[in-house]
Chain A
Amino acid sequence: DGGITQSPKYLFRKEGQNVTLSCEQNLNHDAMYWYRQDPGQGLRLIYYSQIVNDFQKGDIAEGYSVSREKKESFPLTVTSAQKNPTAFYLCASSIPGGPITGELFFGEGSRLTVL
């Protein structure tokens, strides 16, 4: 079945460690996104990529890094520079300008807890 797969679903990290969250899609979508969700807050955009080998910062990119070497994959690294990394991370993809004009397809999320 087509979809977006995020892993791991739960992750614990010690302070000062980098951690990488995986996001893979087999929908053949060009655009991919990373959002962060905190309790009582909406989704906040971290990074997005409209095409392979290109990505842009969202509203809260500090302390995060991404790569887009393949169309199917958009991993997110949470670095030790991110001061408050405990959150629920959501990856999404879309066809820019597609039939539903930008409908986002989301993965099931990765919950990161810093100990």
Chain B
Amino acid sequence: SQKIEQNSEALNIQEGKTATLTCNYTNYSPAYLQWYRQDPGRGPVFLLLIRENEKEKRKERLKVTFDTTLKQSLFHITASQPADSATYLCALDIYNNNDMRFGAGTRLTVKP
């Protein structure tokens, strides 16, 4: 069956450390992968997109990698802050038809 898995339901880290979140998928060959942030009771907000021919993408303190051989994307937040606490979702266009499917998300808590 086709799956999008995010490594853990929750991740707790200390302020200033780097948070690393994982998104694994099976049986797909997506042209790109997206990461979103969702705060409680709100809609997700787009953060980054990485294409299949890109190894790495950066935006401020965020970094995303995409390994199409391992079928895995890593999402890093460096110098984490309590304000980074949220749920982070990865999403793939699994049928290459612009209908995105989402992982269950990882709830990140950054403690001061």
Residues of A participating in the B interface, judged by any CB pair closer than 8 Å: 4, 31, 33, 35, 40-45, 48, 50, 56, 58-59, 88, 90, 92, 94, 96-97, 100-109, 111
Contact = CB atoms under 8 A, between A and B. Distances in A.
Interface in B28-48: 31-32, 34, 36, 41-46
A45 B95 CA distance: 13
18 contacts: A31-B98, A41-B104, A42-B6, A45-B101, A59-B101, A94-B98, A96-B98, A97-B98, A100-B46, A100-B49, A102-B93, A103-B49, A104-B34, A104-B36, A104-B46, A107-B43, A109-B43, A111-B41
A104 B44 contact: yes
B108 interface: no
- Chain B CB within 10 A, most for which of A43, A59, A96, A106: A43
A108 B105 contact: no
Given A56-B99, A111-B41, 20 more contacts: A31-B98, A40-B9, A40-B104, A42-B4, A42-B6, A42-B89, A42-B103, A43-B89, A44-B102, A45-B99, A45-B100, A59-B101, A100-B46, A100-B49, A102-B93, A102-B98, A103-B49, A104-B46, A107-B43, A109-B41
A105 B31 CA distance: 19
Contacts, number: 66
A42 B32 contact: no
Contacts of B45: 106
Contacts of B4: 42
B42 A109 contact: yes
Contact of B99 (A41, A48, A105, A111): A48
A50 B98 contact: yes
B10 to A, nearest CB: 10
